[in-house]
Amino acid sequence: MDPKNINVLYVDDEVNNIISFKAAFRRDFNVYTAENAAVARQILDENPAIQIIISDQRMPNMTGIEFFESIIPIYPETIRILITGYSDVKAVVDAINLGQVYKYLSKPWVEAEVRNFVHKAYELFELRRENKALTDKLLEVNKKLEFLARQNLLS
């Protein structure tokens, strides 16, 4: 696995956090950043190859969970990680139930932990993609077998 194939979008309304994230991980991953959910959505629309999204929970206009919930219908395969400086049980529950979040991280983050979670998230992304491809192939083969079985019944 080449880490440079991993595309990560980091969303945070605090510019210093964005700068820190990019500085910490730009050599490890392709890092995209956004200061709010609207800009993040635009980046996703322009870069559909983004596999992992890390979003701050508390942002003006739209929380991280609300952002995740809004993109699920369009980008269901992205792996979502919520990061926050606050411990809020309701946010954790909503993250899991509404935002379908893979991991929940606390600020300030530990670089090694974030790096590990991003690698694990990418592995999950790839496994899901491979599973979908195999399922699609199986369905196609099954259709062909059904067709052949019908042909044999008719003859």
- How do residues 79-107 score in pLDDT, each as one tens digit? 999 998 766 666 666 666 565 788 888 88
Query: Side-chain half-sphere of 6: how many Cα atoms within 13 Å?
Result: 26
Q: What is the mean pLDDT of the chain?
A: 88
pLDDT of residue 90: 66
pLDDT of residue 33: 98
Q: What percent of the chain has pLDDT over 70?
A: 87
Residue 153: what pLDDT? 73
How deeply is 36 buried, as exposed, middle or buried, from its count of CB atoms within 10 A (0-12, 13-18, 19+)? middle
Q: What is the spatial order of strands in the sheet that 103-106 belongs to?
A: 30-34, 7-11, 52-56, 79-84, 103-106
- Enumerate the domain spans of the chain: 3-128
Q: Do 53 and 31 touch, CB atoms closer than 8 A?
A: no
Could you please state the CATH topology (level 3) that the domain comprising 3-128 is classified under. Answer: Rossmann fold (3.40.50)
Distance CA 9, CA 118 (A): 11
- Distance of alpha carbon 82 from alpha carbon 105, whole angstroms: 6
- 102 and 81 Cβ atoms separated by less than 8 Å: yes
Among 2, 57, 53, smallest CA distance to 31 is for 53
When pLDDT is cut at 50, 70 and 90, the band that residue 154 belongs to is low
Binning pLDDT at 50, 70 and 90, where does residue 4 land? low
Predicted confidence (pLDDT) at residue 132 exceeds the cutoff of 80: yes
Q: Are 3 and 119 in contact (CB under 8 A)?
A: yes
pLDDT (0 to 100) of residue 148: 82
Contact 53, 80 (CB under 8 A): yes
Residues 37-68 pLDDT 10s: 999 999 999 998 999 999 999 899 999 999 99
| Residue 36: strand, helix, or coil | coil
Question: Residue 120 pLDDT > 90, yes or no?
Answer: yes
Q: Quick one: average pLDDT of 102-113?
A: 88
Question: For residue 81, what pLDDT is reported?
Answer: 94
pTM of the model: 0.83
